[in-house]
């Protein structure tokens, strides 16, 4: 949320909490941003997305949804990613999404967010290489933390490494690399994804850990990405997940992100 940035608070943001080095200056807004490993905190206090460290994702089909950059707004210091559900099943939902202008290799990625989602939609807080040719040699690498409209007491996670996935004409995904299957967790005590929560993805060279409100909820040691990734925040619907979601997309909803932080960690 919008609040003044005091000089003392500004200096505090310059020092990494995980053993990194201090910022020499505020990160460049240029895309793509270098160098890899530069810490940042984005509080979305700007008036336009172009003045932040994020940009809209590329337009196009995303699972059983269409990405639409107009469905991303900044409101009172909060990033709002929305969805539009059509009246007919023949049309795909339209969803918003943003991706960081920086790539990072390993580190601690923190998000303060809540998901007030339309029925049948998923909110993804993930690490992703949108431009696969930049660092990964055309291969797909990804780390996911996902929230479902119909499982507000839980979340899901997975990882991809050196993957070469393709979609057939029916959008059935086929993986040809290392893929840690998607895990769904329900019944997290005291957890409600519709409320503000702090999520952390801790990506190291040999494992990935997931935290919710300071409590570790999952870890993975296989299919760990090795190429630099971007932070990506978006919504989507996947008809093949109907067994999990159990509903046809309907209504209105959004993902609200108060802030995003990146800190380097010892690998």
- CATH code of the domain covering residue 233: 2.60.120.200
More confident residue, 41 or 240: 41
Give the model's confidence band at 240: pLDDT under 50 very low, under 70 low, under 90 confident, else very high: low
Q: Is residue 234 part of a domain?
A: yes
pLDDT of 182:
67
pLDDT of 38 over the 60 cut: yes
Q: Is residue 117 part of a domain?
A: yes
Domain range spanning residue 147? 44-257
Q: Is residue 21 part of a domain?
A: no
- Report the alpha-carbon distance of residue 147 to residue 125 in Å, rounded: 8
User: Helices (H) and strands (E) in the chain — how many of each?
Assistant: 3, 20
- Report the alpha-carbon distance of residue 264 to residue 108 in Å, rounded: 6
Q: Is residue 226 part of a domain?
A: yes
Q: Is residue 168 part of a domain?
A: yes
3 state DSSP class of 65: strand
Number of domains present in the structure of the chain: 1
pLDDT, one tens digit per residue, over 199-228 is 999 999 999 999 999 999 999 998 899 999
pLDDT, one tens digit per residue, over 6-21 is 433 333 333 333 333 2
Average pLDDT rounded to a whole number, residues 108-115: 98
What percent of the chain has a predicted confidence (pLDDT) above 90? 45
Average pLDDT rounded to a whole number, residues 127-142: 81
Q: Is residue 74 part of a domain?
A: yes
Which helix (DSSP H) or strand (DSSP E) does residue 159 occupy? strand 155-163
Q: Which residue has the tokens 């119909």?
A: 150
pLDDT, one tens digit per residue, over 42-67 is 999 999 999 999 999 988 888 888 99
Q: How many residues are given for the chain?
A: 267
Residue 104 contacts residue 88 (beta carbons within 8 Å): no
pLDDT of 249:
66
pLDDT, one tens digit per residue, over 135-191 is 877 788 899 999 988 789 999 998 888 764 443 333 333 333 444 556 778 788 899
- Backbone CA torsion sign across 23, 24, 27, 30: negative
58-to-130, 180, 211 alpha-carbon distances in Å: 8, 26, 29
Q: Is residue 24 part of a domain?
A: no
- Report the alpha-carbon distance of residue 255 to residue 195 in Å, rounded: 11
Residue 131 contacts residue 148 (beta carbons within 8 Å): no
Q: Is residue 13 part of a domain?
A: no
């Amino acid at each position: 949320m919008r609040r003044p940035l005091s000089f003392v608070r500004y200096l505090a943001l310059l020092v990494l909490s995980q053993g990194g080095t201090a910022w020499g200056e505020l990160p460049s807004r240029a895309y793509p941003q270098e160098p890899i490993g530069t810490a940042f905190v984005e509080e979305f206090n700007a008036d336009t997305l172009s003045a932040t460290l994020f940009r809209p994702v590329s337009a196009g089909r995303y699972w059983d949804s269409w990405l639409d950059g107009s469905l991303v707004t900044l409101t009172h210091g909060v990033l709002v990613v929305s969805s539009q559900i059509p009246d007919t099943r023949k049309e795909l939902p339209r969803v918003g999404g943003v991706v960081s202008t920086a790539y990072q290799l390993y580190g601690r990625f923190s998000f303060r967010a809540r998901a007030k989602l339309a029925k049948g939609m998923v909110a993804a807080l993930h690490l992703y290489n949108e431009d696969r040719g930049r660092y990964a040699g055309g291969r797909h690498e990804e780390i996911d933390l996902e929230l479902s409209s119909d499982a507000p007491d839980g979340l899901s996670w997975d990882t991809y490494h050196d993957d070469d996935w393709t979609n057939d004409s029916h959008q059935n995904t086929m993986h040809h690399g290392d893929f840690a299957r998607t895990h769904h967790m329900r019944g997290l005590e005291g957890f409600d994804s519709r409320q503000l929560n702090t999520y952390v993805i801790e990506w190291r060279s040999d494992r990935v850990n997931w935290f919710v409100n300071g409590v570790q909820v999952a870890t993975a040691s296989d299919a760990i990405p090795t190429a630099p990734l971007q932070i990506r925040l978006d919504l989507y619907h996947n008809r093949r997940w109907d067994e999990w979601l159990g509903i046809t997309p309907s209504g209105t909803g959004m993902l609200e992100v108060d802030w995003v932080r990146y800190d380097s960690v010892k690998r």
